[in-house]
Amino acid sequence: MSSGGKEKLSVSCPSCGKKVLWEASPHRPFCSERCKLADLGKWLDEDYRITSCLEDESEKSQESEDP
C-alpha cells in the first residue's frame, strides 16, 4: 500500500480481461455495458451451465438417508 492513502483495487473484466478500477466501474465486475450484456447473452444461449453433479450428489445423500 502506498503511504499516502488507500490502494485502488484493480480487477480483470470476466468477459474481455481488461483491467478496471473496481470503484470506478459502474458495470462491475465488467468493464463496460457491452461486456455485461455479452456475458448475459452467453447465459441465455446456455453457453454457461451449472453442472448436474450437484444434483447427483444431493440425490445420493437422500438415497443413503432412506432406510
**Average pLDDT estimate for 42-50:** 90
Output the pLDDT for position 9.
92
Question: DSSP per residue over 15-47, as a string?
Answer: TT--EEETTT-TTTTSSSHHHHHHHHHHHHTTS
Output the pLDDT for position 62.
64
Domain 10-65 fold is Erythroid Transcription Factor GATA-1; Chain A (3.30.50)
The answer on pLDDT for 15 being more than 60 is yes
Task: Tell me the average pLDDT of the chain.
Answer: 82
Give the burial class of 43: count Cβ atoms within 10 A of its Cβ; 0-12 exposed, 13-18 middle, 19 or more buried.
exposed
Between 59 and 26, the more confident residue is 26
The answer on pLDDT for 8 being more than 70 is yes
- The 10 Å CB-count burial string (b at 16+, else e) for 2-34 is eeeeeeeeeeebebeeeebeeeeeeeeebbbee
